[in-house]
Structure 1
């Protein structure tokens, strides 16, 4: 599927109890995204768990239900339609970034959702290590690199 925008996706919302070809496609996409899952077309507790892990990796709300944003991240194999974050921002999403940087031994401070100088330094370190523009701003390329970091807090 050639994906130009998340709004191009026309997939059904799926949740525990769903069955059929769309569930099978979901499970195959989860596999292609590195998740261990059986492809049986049945959205059971195991699929719900794996969807939740994937959502966490992609910085999406972890609810185990597949909406347009989850489909988009599955097709892109990367976070999709994420807001740009920078020093001064305060949010739950900043807290998730801090946790991921902490999990990867790049951030050693309070996980408080406040994008301060320590968070900015950790982001700049990631950007430098990955060959990105070192500006401390989390845009699309930095989101992609963040999603590839260790994620023990998602398991």
Structure 2
């Protein structure tokens, strides 16, 4: 991405309004076009944020590891423009927490990890990350960085909107 394109994307993200169910207008039309391009929305584009648009937003948010709340704010806009996860931590041996558990879950889906989903970046997780990176043509350093998060987001995972209901 050129610096000019990157600046235009940054400006566009900053200038885009928050969108949610019931929103209408040009920004929703742009949202629908982005979702269509990313193959998560297959309805006619009408500039109306309805339940179908909301579901596509949630599906996209899930794909890029954002909370699937169906509200399009700055992080979702950024993810839409870059088609990649945003604000994800760099993970390595010794890291722990929810992000590590997410990596383990995706690695399990991609059949690179068979260990326990425990949120601990152990030797087993590091070995799985290296194998995953190698299979994606990424330098197999065993560190989950932006490039690895982007590759992980390309692994098809089943999205169940009911998982996130409280």
Q: How does the TM-score come out when normalised to structure 2?
A: 0.84
Distance in structure 2 (CA, Å) of the matches to 1:4 and 1:85 = 28
Distance in structure 2 (CA, Å) of the matches to 1:91 and 1:5 = 35
Q: Which residue of 2 aligns with 1:98?
A: 104
Aligned CA-pair RMSD: 2.0
- 1:89 corresponds to 2:95: yes
2:155 to 137, 146, 149: 149
Summarize deviations over 1:55-98 as a string: whole Å, max 9, x none. 11111111111111111111111123322111211222222222
**Runs of 5+ consecutive residues of structure 1 not aligned to the other structure:** none
2:16 to 11, 36, 45: 11
Q: Which residue of 2 aligns with 1:60?
A: 66
- 1:21 corresponds to 2:22: no
Query: After the TM superposition, which of the residue ranges 13-22 and 90-99 deviates more from structure 2?
Result: 90-99
Query: Any conservation in 1 of the 2:61–2:76 contact (CA below 8 Å)?
Result: yes
User: Which of these two proteins has the greater Rg computed from alpha carbons?
Assistant: 2
Distance in structure 1 (CA, Å) of the matches to 2:156 and 2:91 = 20
Per the TM alignment, residue 103 of structure 1 is displaced from its structure 2 partner at its CA by 1.7
**Runs of 5+ consecutive residues of structure 2 not aligned to the other structure:** 162-166
In 2 relative to 1, CA 131–108 (structure 1 residues): closer, same or farther, beyond 3 Å?
Answer: same
1:108 to 114, 134, 151: 114
Q: How does the TM-score come out when normalised to structure 1?
A: 0.89
Per the TM alignment, residue 4 of structure 1 is displaced from its structure 2 partner at its CA by 4.5
Summarize deviations over 1:92-137 as a string: whole Å, max 9, x none. 2222222211222222122222222222111101111122111110
1:78 to 81, 84, 87: 84
Query: Any conservation in 2 of the 1:104–1:151 contact (CA below 8 Å)?
Result: no
Distance in structure 1 (CA, Å) of the matches to 2:27 and 2:78 = 14
Summarize deviations over 1:1-21 as a string: whole Å, max 9, x none. 822597542211111111111
The 4+ residue runs of structure 1 with deviation greater than 6 A are none
